[in-house]
Amino acid sequence: MLEIKGLEASIGDKQILRGIDLVVPSGEVHAVMGPNGAGKSTLGYVLSGRAGYEATAGLATFNGADLLDIEPEERAALGLFLAFQYPVELPGVGNANFLRTALNALRRARGEAEMDAPGFLKLARAEMKRLSMPDDMLKRNVNVGFSGGEKKRNEVLQMAILRPKLAILDETDSGLDIDALRIVADGVNALRGPDFSALVITHYQRLLEYIVPDRVHVLVSGRIIRSGGPELALELEANGYAGMVADAA
Amino acid sequence: MTAVAETLDAVQSATEGGYKWGFSTEIEMDMAPKGLNEDIIRLISSRKEEPQWLLDWRLKAYAAWLKMEEPHWAMIHHPPIDYQDLHYYAAPKKKAGPKSLDEVDPELLKMYEKLGIPLKERAILAGVELPEGEAPQVAIDAVFDSVSVATTFKATLAKAGVIFCPISEAVRDHPELVRQYIGSVIPAGDNYFAALNSAVFTDGSFVFIPKGVRCPMELSTYFRINARNTGQFERTLIIVEDGGSVSYLEGCTAPQRDENQLHAAVVELVAMNDASIKYSTVQNWYPGDAEGRGGIYNFVTKRGICKGANSKISWTQVETGSAITWKYPSCILQGDGSVGEFYSVAVTTNHQQADTGTKMIHIGRNTRSTIVSKGISAGKSNNTYRGKVSVLKGAENARNFTQCDSLLIGDQCGAHTVPYIESRNPTAKLEHEATTSKISDDQLFYCRSRGLSQEDAVGMIVNGFCRDVLKELPMEFAVEAQKLLAVSLEGSVG
Amino acid sequence: MSASVPTTRLQATADAFLTRFAGIKASLPGDKSLRERAAATVRSKGLPGPREEAWRYTQLRPLTDVTFETPLHADVDAQALLGRLPEIAAPHLVFVDGRFRADLSTASSMVRTGAPSFGSGARPDFDPMVALNTMLAEDGVAISVPHDVDGGTIVLASLATGQNGRAIAFHPRHSVNLADGAKLTLIEIGLGDGVYFHNPVVTVSVAHGASLTHLRLQTESEQAFVLSTVYADVASDGTYDSFQLATGGRLARAEIHATLSGPNAIAHLNAAQLLAGSQHADFTTIVSHDAPNCASRQTVKTVLTGKSRGVFQGKIEVARAAQKTDGYQMNQALLLSPDAEMDSKPQLEIYADDVKCSHGATVGELDAEQLFYLRSRGVPEAEARAMLVRAFLDEALEAITHEAGRAAMETAIAHWWDRQA
Ligand SMILES: Nc1ncnc2c1ncn2[C@@H]1O[C@H](COP(=O)(O)OP(=O)(O)OP(=O)(O)O)[C@@H](O)[C@H]1O
Ligand SMILES: [Mg+2]
């Protein structure tokens, strides 16, 4: 379970998050929507520990463990996974090598045996097949020269292989074609279960037709101004943010 | 392929902390007194039972050296070297001269075991001949301080017509070859350190690949400086006749000592028509401690000539060691259509200084050269790429591509790029690109958010940065080099 | 060693300049000790020889073939030369054979004339040509633009008459100071006839938020020696934007030192060199990033025909404090004849880690495919070549926003090209 209480965060001197309260119980999928610049990505970065995104007040725990005080890799070891809005390119680093190194780092942290190369390849190929990704993606360098949509799919592939307990998907649907959207949603739905929860950041109601959220939160100017069921997304789609902001004020 | 990786682990576990190859070995040494003069040169020459012409050549080099000045143009700084305070000859004491491995000092063998060199031929150990083509075989010549100790696989190589032996042995057994080629690429008076080497070189390897022969296995030399206050001056000469080819590997380590030790080697390569030479180095001499005390001064002259048409010389180096590295493996592209390559990774940490690069001299028509240099500086180190690409008038359609990238880790180090680009022919095309940057925070965070530790993330990004060079190394070396990079940078981040 | 021959010849030339100094020093204006210190440098270092790394590609040996005489200044007629100046509607400061000519110039409150203006920042102790200039400078101007004033455009012209066959040397010394928020476009033009040695030094100081556009048109005599040096210091938020076109000189070198000494300072050092015959031209830059967040850009293009020789040396230095430096440099050369030569030495010296620095260099001939493409569309070969050469230069020229300045450059390029045909 992810619990966030009164979380405030700044980038440099600029306050972005102004008191976020949010609980995502295990087994649930929550959506976060909000206008550009509201602080959605910032929330994802603060939770996963990106340098420069500093929590100045409040707390965030995952299954009881304090998230904010530990290193990014320790958060990953706890089961946190952030699918980046803008996935990073790693020139010279092979996708397969990267994924296996990450997987084994996590397995070590969990006290599991490392996976050997053949075992890993088998797993990776199976997951790629499900995501309709061509095999040669494994040989290429991480995200280098990938199209926008390919990068997003690669994030989902990582998620499928690393099997997080809490996935934060930051606009993973942006830039995807219609078929890919389905595939990505299937990837998330395949992980759904009592021990998995997700925070899905999106601008579009359409994704939420495929990944039906338990709750929808509206983030505006660093605060959650409304929460509700899946119908909230439809309301937003119809009316936009303006009315809602006025109501909240 | 994992054989080397495993032995590397074994070496690491056999030593503790810091520089992991820093053990010294207790062996009875036969040493010349300190100092350099004509008598010492005569002594070296007589110990090695050399012919008169070679002694004369040495003395001429010495006379030239006396008139020369240590070069100062490189971006390196060190206290003056007292050339009279060194031993110019140190050899493990011979009992009657090791004729076979059994006669080699067991302490020495133990040391090689620690280094992970498969010195004893596997075939001998197992008592069976390996079938042709099975498992990559590496023939090794090990140079311990000043002399070659043992050369493995000699018999197999001889069958193919390949000569691979200590150069002192070549002087004895193939004097005409040595006499023809020694100093033909790097004249005795070429530069200060080459002149010094020519005067006092004590051993090194000799390779001769006859016409049309592709050397059946990789050849390897392992250099180690062991004795205190010795300079090591090895000399390597590789000649490949028409259509022949060879891949040669060179590894270097030295024990941990708090004084500086001098290493001034010379390597000459000659490639005839259609011949190809691939020369790979993993240089891991002792770099000095965290405060910059001790370490090897590595002043090396390496040059190859593509004498014949369509010949090829490729230098690949991974330089992580030495307090100071001064080294410019070069290619003279004389034969029409000849190809020169230089792939380099140089890592400096703590107080290390590296000034390294290459020279590509285009003389023949349609000659091509490629330079890929990756410099990584951390700690308080300075890392300089210095390279020259020169296209002479007759080099119709010459092509060069140069990429040199520097990565800075921490704000106390320096990264420098000093290329010289000279063109005398309008049909030539030269391209040079250089970049300097730091490891991107975004990349680090991306890796860490996937569960990689800070150090693993740096290791992975650095290896990615060096990928274009590492992929040029023979497989066994590539694995070793990757680990070496990670080990070298341990503790420099975060 | 053969190097000893030119060294002694260089020594003899340096000695001749020292003798001249001894002859005129009593009458030289300004700080005597500054002159003496410069003379001491000339005495000890002489003129730069082939072993000096900074001069490895440019040798002054041809300078030693000439004996420079005392200039005659009375009634030199410069009308013909004046007519060769490009038309630029702006105040002109005109020097003839190294002497300021009030009769040919426009008075301005921003300009002080009558004596060399040594400014600050130049390094006579370090730079041999600056030492020579400091020792012998007889004239110059000081241009100062006050706080927040837009000084418009000023033309600084140097005309060399050739003195009816008398080879002379002149060493003008100028300073340009822009106070906080000031603006100026300075267009420096050099032209002349015959054999002479023009050795100008300009020191530039750009204060906080100020901006200097420095356009230089070097179309001097093809028998002249032109060795110019600029030292520019740029304070926080200041901009030094320079472009130089060189088509003249038998032996020419333009050396620019730009120091970005305050945060967010910017330097552009762009240049084009068009060389023919047996001309030798060298463009040398040293950009020192001393403060954080500064940016430098250099685009340098060289076109060579005949037996000409081009040199580019560009160094970007980034000091430890200069984090977030953004440095970029590109130098490209076109060799249009089998006997032309190009040497280039781009250099990075970096001590700060959070930087983005890069340089690129290419040397080659005109792209055969492009040439063919144009010809297949009906463009005659000569025209196609001219078009491609002009296109090659474009990147260096496109940054010039000053219209009259740009037109003058374009005209000079067109003239040069016509002369080659
Ligand atoms: N490095 C930075 N420096 C200063 N401001 C920043 C920085 N990064 C982000 N911001 C600002 O923080 C605010 C929140 O950004 P964030 O990326 O969290 O928005 P978002 O809700 O994810 O928007 P979008 O829907 O466009 O992805 C924005 O105003 C943005 O400009
Ligand atoms: Mg966002």
Q: Count Cβ atoms below 10 Å from residue C376 Cβ, excluding itself.
A: 9
- Give the gap in angstroms from C-alpha A74 to the nearest C-alpha of chain B: 7
Average pLDDT over residues B2-14: 26
Q: Does C326 touch chain B (CB under 8 A)?
A: no
Cα separation, A77 vs C358, whole angstroms: 38
Task: For C150-173, write each residue's pLDDT tens digit.
Answer: 999 999 999 999 998 999 999 999
Q: From the list C345, C349, C362, which residue is nearest B420 (CB)?
A: C345
Q: Which residue has the higher pLDDT, B152 or C335?
A: C335
Average pLDDT over residues C324-334: 95
Residues for chain C: how many in total?
421
- Give the gap in angstroms from C-alpha A40 to the nearest C-alpha of chain B: 17
Q: What is the pLDDT of residue C371?
A: 80
Q: Which residue has the higher pLDDT, B448 or B124?
A: B448
Average pLDDT over residues B286-303: 88
Q: What is the atom index within ligand 1 of the atom nearest the CA of A219? A: 21
Average pLDDT over residues C188-214: 98
Distance A40 CA to ligand 1 centre (A): 8
Average pLDDT over residues C361-382: 81
Tell me if C360 and B423 make a contact (CB, 8 A cut-off): no
Q: What is the pLDDT of residue C1?
A: 38
Within the 45-84 window of chain B, which residues sit less than 8 Å (CB to CB) from chain C? Answer: 73
Residue B17 has pLDDT above 70, yes or no: no
**What is the domain partition of chain B in residue ranges?**
30-96+133-488
Burial B268-299 (b: 16+ CB within 10 A, else e): bbbbbbbbbbbbbbbbbbbbbbeebebbbbbb
Q: Is residue A147 in some structural domain?
A: no
Cα separation, C344 vs C334, whole angstroms: 12
Q: What is the pLDDT of residue B21?
A: 54
- Give the gap in angstroms from C-alpha B118 to the nearest C-alpha of chain A: 26
On whether the CB atoms of residues C356 and C327 are closer than 8 A, the answer is: yes
Average pLDDT over residues B394-400: 96
Query: Which two tokens mark B21?
Result: 């190859």
Average pLDDT over residues C76-94: 93
Residue B125 has pLDDT above 80, yes or no: no
- Give the gap in angstroms from C-alpha B473 to the nearest C-alpha of chain A: 15
Query: Which two tokens mark B343?
Result: 């792939």
Residue B94 has pLDDT above 60, yes or no: no
Phi-psi region of A79 (alpha: psi -120 to 50; beta: other; left: phi over 0): left
CATH number at residue A8: 3.40.50.300
Q: What is the pLDDT of residue B133?
A: 40
On whether the CB atoms of residues B354 and B288 are closer than 8 A, the answer is: no
Q: What is the atom index within ligand 1 of the atom nearest the CA of A38? A: 21
Cα separation, C284 vs C255, whole angstroms: 5
Q: What is the pLDDT of residue A73?
A: 87
Chains that touch B (3 or more CB pairs under 8 A): A, C
Residue C9 has pLDDT above 60, yes or no: yes
Specify the range with the lowest mean pLDDT, choosing from B20-24, B395-399, B402-406. Answer: B20-24
Q: What is the pLDDT of residue C310?
A: 98
Tell me if B422 and C342 make a contact (CB, 8 A cut-off): yes
Specify the range with the lowest mean pLDDT, choosing from A11-20, B22-31, B249-258, C381-390. Answer: B22-31
The pLDDT confidence band at residue C42, using thresholds 50, 70 and 90, is very high
Residue C346 has pLDDT above 70, yes or no: yes
DSSP classification of residue B366: T
- Give the gap in angstroms from C-alpha C118 to the nearest C-alpha of chain B: 32
Q: What is the pLDDT of residue C226?
A: 98
3-class SS of residue B266? strand
Average pLDDT over residues C250-264: 98
Interface mutation vs chain A, best among B403, B438, B448, most A CBs within 10 Å: B448
Average pLDDT over residues A17-44: 95
Residue B130 has pLDDT above 50, yes or no: no
Q: What is the pLDDT of residue B446?
A: 94
Task: For B449-478, write each residue's pLDDT tens digit.
Answer: 999 998 889 989 999 999 999 989 887 778
| C150-160 and B276-284 strand pairing | unpaired
Instruction: Please classify residue B266 by burial: count the beta carbons closer than 10 Å to its beta carbon, then call 0-12 exposed, 13-18 middle and 19+ buried.
Output: buried
| Touching status, chains B and A (3+ beta-carbon pairs under 8 Å) | yes
Distance A42 CA to ligand 2 centre (A): 7
Interface mutation vs chain B, best among A54, A101, A104, A139, most B CBs within 10 Å: A101
The pLDDT confidence band at residue C390, using thresholds 50, 70 and 90, is confident
Q: From the list B411, B421, B435, which residue is nearest C353 (CB)?
A: B411
On whether the CB atoms of residues A95 and A139 are closer than 8 A, the answer is: yes
Shortest CA distance to B260 belongs to which of B65, B77, B70? B77
Task: For C276-287, write each residue's pLDDT tens digit.
Answer: 999 999 999 999
Residue B87 has pLDDT above 60, yes or no: yes
Q: Which residue has the higher pLDDT, C418 or B95?
A: C418
Q: Does B471 touch chain A (CB under 8 A)?
A: no
Shortest CA distance to B239 belongs to which of B176, B186, B304? B304
Q: From the list C345, C353, C359, which residue is nearest B408 (CB)?
A: C353
Distance A43 CA to ligand 2 centre (A): 9
Instruction: Please classify residue B6 by burial: count the beta carbons closer than 10 Å to its beta carbon, then call 0-12 exposed, 13-18 middle and 19+ buried.
Output: exposed
Query: Which two tokens mark B189?
Result: 């008076």
Highest mean pLDDT: which of B272-276, B434-438, B469-473? B272-276
On whether the CB atoms of residues A182 and A206 are closer than 8 A, the answer is: no
The pLDDT confidence band at residue C90, using thresholds 50, 70 and 90, is very high
Tell me if C358 and B436 make a contact (CB, 8 A cut-off): yes
On whether the CB atoms of residues A218 and A248 are closer than 8 A, the answer is: no
In terms of CA atoms, which chain B residue is nearest residue A144?
B464
Residue B103 has pLDDT above 60, yes or no: no
DSSP classification of residue C69: B
Task: For B208-236, write each residue's pLDDT tens digit.
Answer: 999 999 998 888 877 666 555 566 788 99
Q: What percent of chain B clears pLDDT 90, i.e. is strictly above it?
A: 51
Q: Which residue has the higher pLDDT, A249 or B494?
A: A249
Residue B12 has pLDDT above 80, yes or no: no
Tell me if A162 and B450 make a contact (CB, 8 A cut-off): yes
Q: What is the mean pLDDT of chain B?
A: 82
Burial B396-416 (b: 16+ CB within 10 A, else e): bbbbbebebbbbbbbeebbbb
Task: For A190-227, write each residue's pLDDT tens digit.
Answer: 999 999 999 999 998 889 999 999 999 999 999 999 99
Tell me if A90 and B468 make a contact (CB, 8 A cut-off): no
Residues with CB under 6 Å of ligand 1 are: A 11-12, 14, 16, 34, 36-42, 85
Query: Which two tokens mark A211?
Result: 């990944």
**What is the domain partition of chain C in residue ranges?**
4-261, 367-421
Question: Closest ligand to A43 CA?
Answer: 1
Q: What was the ipTM of the complex prediction?
A: 0.88
Cα separation, B447 vs B442, whole angstroms: 9
Interface mutation vs chain B, best among A67, A75, A84, A88, most B CBs within 10 Å: A88
Q: Helix axis angle, A95-109 relative to B454-470, nearest 10°?
A: 160
Residue A51 has pLDDT above 60, yes or no: yes
The pLDDT confidence band at residue C73, using thresholds 50, 70 and 90, is confident
Query: How many domains is chain A partitioned into structurally?
Result: 1
Q: Which residue has the higher pLDDT, C150 or B72?
A: C150
Residue B105 has pLDDT above 60, yes or no: no
Q: Does C346 touch chain B (CB under 8 A)?
A: yes
Average pLDDT over residues B125-137: 37
Q: Does B453 touch chain A (CB under 8 A)?
A: yes
Question: Closest ligand to A241 CA?
Answer: 1
Q: Is residue A108 in some structural domain?
A: no
List the beta bridge partners of residue C281. Answer: C252, C310
Average pLDDT over residues B174-178: 95
Q: Is the pTM of this model over 0.90?
A: no
